[in-house]
Every structure is written in structure tokens, then in C-alpha cells.
């Protein structure tokens, strides 16, 4: 590659997605990560691409809606180009309704969804549609058709294959050339905090478990804070923990046992599902809890794509397209709340 227009530091979902968007726009791209593709939180196993509730509407929710709606074609193009599956599927989500107050709130949000999602997705209250459901005190469930699933590690591998197939480079080390985008995860947030007078962001550790249970055509479940995600490959992921203090970024412990016990207690179909593996990683959360997309506050001419935390994969398609446009043309339509300056 003679000349590099854009260098991406970090081969997680944000770094690879921005690289892919820049390549599609005609730029030459190099991705650099000493630990390889999807080595951090982006290489996980859960992959819930779930929307915020359709009320108290704001630019962040509108951005997320647009990104989730474009995900099907976006990931489809990635898979076609690179030849690998991301595990993407817009299969929806079920949430048990605990009591009459929760039922009233769920029904109120039906109206909000019609207003904000219009006819592009549905939020409804239904009885159990199949045997792959959690227990519900009311016998009723919130069902939305906007939520999708994706296997994070497979998604990163699919993106990497597409980047290379389109002519991009992915290396463990190389010099920076052209515009530089820092997509360096929680360590990058920590570095920003060290350069500033207060915390810019932090790493939040999560643990998850993969079970041998095939419910690939069923909606994912969200039960009392627990995500249960049937993947396209016939496995089911459950997770995850939220740990603000940790010594070892990749270790798993008894908290995984608690996840399994909670999932089996909530979903009878998982009672005898065998454990395949456990995973742990650290997710980057910006101080504002919004993604950081835009000009780097401490490196003139550079850019940041960080802070995806639990919504990074859902935000990635639109975040990548918008940031690539900003980098290559100077056109900035990224929401003001995502400006890295907002986290300082």
C-alpha cells in the first residue's frame, strides 16, 4: 500500500467499522492493533443489539434507531464482501411483565413506539409465543421487533475479512499515516483521563457464558438485567456482569456460576443446557455514557471512536459512516452529545 489515507488504532468494532466505512468511501486504510482483531471487549459472546425504550426521545435514541434500522443491509454487505458470517439477525426481544404497573407502562410505550419508530418496528404486549421464554408473573411479555443479535467475535472477524478483501491492511504494528483514529477501548479512555484533570471514561468488566442450546430462530430474552441471546450458530449466550473494580481483565469466577443459575431459574428450556465456555473482558464507558466520536481533544488533527460500552455494536454502522464522512470530507453530522469534548 503506497499511501495510507486513514490509520485506525484499534481492531475492535469501532476501529474496524470506521475502516470499512472509509474503504467504501474510496480511502486507503490501515488498521493497527498489537493484540489482533477483537482482542478486547469487542471479541465477546453476548451481542444484544437492543434499543433504548421509545420515550423521552433525544438525539442519542434517534441515532441508535437509525443505526439499528440500517444494520441488516450494512452487515449483509460486510458478510458478502469478506465471506464470513457476523451472526447478525433481527430476531426481536421478549421481556417479562412483572405486575400491573409494569403492564401499564409497557402499554404506554406502545404509543411512543408508534410515534418514534413509526412503521419500521413494533413494540407490543403479547402472551408467550413459544416455549423459549422466561417465567412471567402476568403471563405477558413486551415484544419488540427492532432488537437484533450478533455474535461479537464473529462480527469482528467478518469486518476484518471485509476490510482485507476491500484492500485494507490489518497489522500488529506500523507507523501512523494520514488521518489517525484512536479506537483503543478502555485503555484509551484511561489514557485520556490521565491527560485531563478528571475522569473521561473508565473500563467496566463483564463476564458471560456460552451454552449449548439451539434457539436460533427465537427472540432474545431480557430478564431482570440478564441478556439471553440465541445465536445463529446454535449456541445461546447469557450475560453479563458489571464490575467496576477488578484485578484481572480476562479472568472468570463464581459470578459466571450465578449467571448460569439465574438463567436456568428464569428460563426452563435452559435447565439442562451444557456450558461451552466462559468469557470476560473490559468494556469502555465514557463519563457521559454516550459514544465518543469526533475530533481528538489532545491530538490536533486526530480523531476518536470510543466509549461504545454496551451499545457499541448497535451504534457501529451509523457511527462509522458519520465519522468516516467527517474524516474524509469535513462534514460533521455526528450528534453534539457524542463530541469527545462533552466527556471532558
> What is the reported pTM?
0.96
Looking at the structure, tell me whether residues 268 and 293 fall in a common domain.
Answer: no
Looking at the structure, tell me whether residues 331 and 277 fall in a common domain.
Answer: no
Structural domain includes residue 82: yes
Looking at the structure, tell me whether residues 268 and 216 fall in a common domain.
Answer: yes
- Do you know the residue count of the chain? 344
Looking at the structure, tell me whether residues 185 and 226 fall in a common domain.
Answer: no
What's the rounded Cα separation, in Å, for the pair 207 and 45?
A: 10
Q: In the listed set 283, 311, 327, which residue is the last one of a domain according to the structure?
A: 283
Looking at the structure, tell me whether residues 161 and 83 fall in a common domain.
Answer: yes
Give the pLDDT of residue 342: 86
Structural domain includes residue 139: no
Structural domain includes residue 109: no
Q: Under a CB-based contact definition with an 8 Å cutoff, are residues 102 and 108 in contact?
A: no
Structural domain includes residue 111: no
Q: In the listed set 283, 313, 333, which residue is the last one of a domain according to the structure?
A: 283
Looking at the structure, tell me whether residues 210 and 266 fall in a common domain.
Answer: yes
Looking at the structure, tell me whether residues 82 and 217 fall in a common domain.
Answer: no
Structural domain includes residue 101: no
Count of domains observed in the chain:
2
Q: What is the sign of the dihedral through the CA atoms of 123, 67, 70 and 14?
A: negative
Rg (alpha carbons) of the chain, rounded to whole number = 20
Structural domain includes residue 126: no
Q: What is the CATH number of the domain that holds 279?
A: 3.30.9.10
What's the rounded Cα separation, in Å, for the pair 321 and 135?
A: 40
Structural domain includes residue 98: no
Q: Under a CB-based contact definition with an 8 Å cutoff, are residues 319 and 19 in contact?
A: no
Looking at the structure, tell me whether residues 80 and 211 fall in a common domain.
Answer: no
Looking at the structure, tell me whether residues 278 and 222 fall in a common domain.
Answer: yes
Structural domain includes residue 267: yes
Looking at the structure, tell me whether residues 313 and 272 fall in a common domain.
Answer: no
Long-range contact list for 96-101, CB < 8 A, 24+ apart? 96/133, 96/134, 96/135, 96/136, 96/137, 96/138, 96/140, 96/141, 96/223, 97/125, 97/136, 97/137, 97/138, 97/140, 97/141, 97/142, 98/136, 98/137, 98/138, 99/137, 99/138, 100/138
Looking at the structure, tell me whether residues 213 and 273 fall in a common domain.
Answer: yes
Domain span at residue 301? 6-90+147-200+287-343
Q: Under a CB-based contact definition with an 8 Å cutoff, are residues 22 and 5 in contact?
A: yes
Q: What is the mean pLDDT of each run of 10 residues along the chain (344 residues)?
A: 92 98 98 96 97 94 97 98 98 98 97 96 96 95 98 98 98 97 97 92 97 98 97 97 95 97 96 97 95 96 96 97 98 96 87
Q: In the listed set 283, 317, 335, which residue is the last one of a domain according to the structure?
A: 283
Q: What is the CATH number of the domain that holds 195?
A: 3.50.50.60
Looking at the structure, tell me whether residues 217 and 319 fall in a common domain.
Answer: no
Amino acid at each position: 500500500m503506497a499511501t495510507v489515507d486513514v490509520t485506525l488504532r484499534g481492531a475492535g468494532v469501532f476501529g474496524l467499522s470506521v475502516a470499512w466505512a472509509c474503504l467504501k468511501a474510496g480511502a486507503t486504510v490501515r488498521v493497527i492493533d498489537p493484540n489482533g482483531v477483537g482482542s478486547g471487549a469487542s471479541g465477546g459472546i453476548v451481542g444484544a443489539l437492543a434499543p433504548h425504550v421509545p420515550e423521552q426521545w433525544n438525539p442519542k435514541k434517534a441515532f441508535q434507531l437509525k443505526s439499528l434500522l440500517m444494520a441488516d443491509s450494512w452487515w449483509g454487505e460486510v458478510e458478502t464482501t469478506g465471506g464470513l458470517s457476523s451472526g447478525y439477525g433481527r430476531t426481536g426481544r421478549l421481556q417479562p411483565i412483572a405486575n400491573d404497573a409494569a403492564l401499564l407502562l409497557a402499554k404506554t410505550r406502545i404509543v411512543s413506539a408508534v410515534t418514534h419508530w413509526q412503521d419500521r418496528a413494533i413494540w407490543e404486549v403479547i402472551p408467550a409465543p413459544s416455549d423459549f421464554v422466561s417465567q412471567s408473573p402476568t403471563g405477558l411479555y413486551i415484544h419488540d421487533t427492532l432488537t437484533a443479535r450478533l455474535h461479537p467475535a464473529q462480527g469482528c472477524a467478518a469486518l476484518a475479512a471485509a476490510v482485507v478483501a476491500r484492500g485494507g491492511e490489518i497489522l500488529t504494528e506500523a507507523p501512523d499515516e494520514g488521518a489517525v483514529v484512536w479506537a483503543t477501548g478502555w485503555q484509551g479512555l484511561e489514557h485520556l483521563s490521565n491527560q485531563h484533570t478528571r475522569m473521561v471514561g473508565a473500563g467496566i468488566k463483564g463476564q458471560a457464558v456460552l451454552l449449548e442450546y439451539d434457539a436460533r430462530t427465537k427472540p432474545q430474552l431480557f430478564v431482570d438485567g440478564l441478556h439471553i441471546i440465541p445465536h445463529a450458530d446454535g449456541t445461546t449466550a447469557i450475560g453479563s456482569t458489571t464490575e467496576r473494580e477488578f484485578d484481572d481483565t480476562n479472568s472468570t469466577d463464581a459470578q459466571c456460576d450465578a449467571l448460569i443459575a439465574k438463567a436456568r431459574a428464569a428460563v426452563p428450556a435452559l435447565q439442562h443446557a451444557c456450558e461451552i465456555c466462559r468469557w470476560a473482558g473490559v468494556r469502555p464507558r465514557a463519563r457521559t455514557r454516550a459514544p465518543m466520536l469526533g475530533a481528538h481533544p489532545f491530538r490536533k488533527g486526530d480523531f476518536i471512536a470510543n466509549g461504545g460500552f454496551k451499545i457499541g455494536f448497535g451504534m457501529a454502522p451509523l457511527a462509522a459512516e458519520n465519522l468516516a464522512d467527517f474524516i474524509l470530507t469535513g462534514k460533521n453530522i455526528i450528534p453534539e452529545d457524542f463530541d469527545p469534548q462533552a466527556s471532558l
